[in-house]
Structure 1
Amino acid sequence: MPQKTLAETLAARETVYVHCGHPACCKSTKLDVQTLIDRLGPDHGSMHDDLVRIFACSHCKAAGRDRRPVFFTFIPDYEGQQGERNRDWKPTFDRTKPA
């Protein structure tokens, strides 16, 4: 059982990038998590070990370079988390008293 699934990644509204590990390339692409779910299924793992065998750099392949491992970056939905944290926030200072 994977630690985290693609469905959980989509529900958390995380942004996922895949990066080429070849030093002459270093291309980066934003992944569409919904498309991954359509192809692999919602229960497919979204951790590095679950995805690394699926991706290869097309730029390196076209240039005839050797295949290097790819790396992933998962960026949380900071705006959504901040909004949830501040939803019930009210100021705690009293504006009626002079400074």
Structure 2
Amino acid sequence: MTKTLADTLAARETVYVNCGHAMCCKSTKLDIQALINRLGSGHGSMHWDLVGLFGCSDCKAAGRDRRPVFFTCIPHYEGQQRERNRDWKPTFDSTK
């Protein structure tokens, strides 16, 4: 099953696109809702689904050669922790 932009939005993940040029390394947070509005909610959200859509405007303006971009996905840790600990109950050993 392919992960979609709708899945990424629902999971509240943060995604950054990063320039792969060593002279630049610019990083920009993606607006997932804006991508959904442009590409549709069913569009894939994995690297190969998005890599061709992005290029670095700073490198282009500086006349540097185009390098592939890469992505950083940061999970919504607070939500994962809340779900993981939902049924957790502390136990205390009174024999110590």
Identity %: 77
Counterpart for residue 10 of structure 2 = 11
What is the total number of aligned residue pairs between the two structures?
96
| TM-score, length basis structure 1 | 0.90
Distance 2:41 2:2 in 1: 13
Distance 2:28 2:9 in 1: 17
Counterpart for residue 88 of structure 2 = 89
State the AA in 2 paired with 1:10: L
| TM-score, length basis structure 2 | 0.93
Counterpart for residue 77 of structure 1 = 76
Distance 1:98 1:47 in 2: 51
Distance 1:42 1:89 in 2: 35
- Runs of 4 or more consecutive aligned structure 1 residues displaced over 4 Å after TM superposition: none
How far residue 74 of structure 1 moved from its aligned partner, in angstroms, is 0.9
- What SS does structure 1 have at the residue aligned with 2:88? coil
Structure with higher helix content:
2
How far residue 84 of structure 1 moved from its aligned partner, in angstroms, is 0.9
State the AA in 1 paired with 2:52: R
- Kindly report the root-mean-square deviation, in angstroms, between the aligned alpha carbons of the 2 structures: 1.4
How far residue 49 of structure 1 moved from its aligned partner, in angstroms, is 0.6
2:20 is aligned with 1:21: yes
> What 5-or-longer segments of structure 2 have no aligned partner?
none
Counterpart for residue 67 of structure 1 = 66
Distance 1:26 1:80 in 2: 30
How far residue 3 of structure 1 moved from its aligned partner, in angstroms, is 1.5
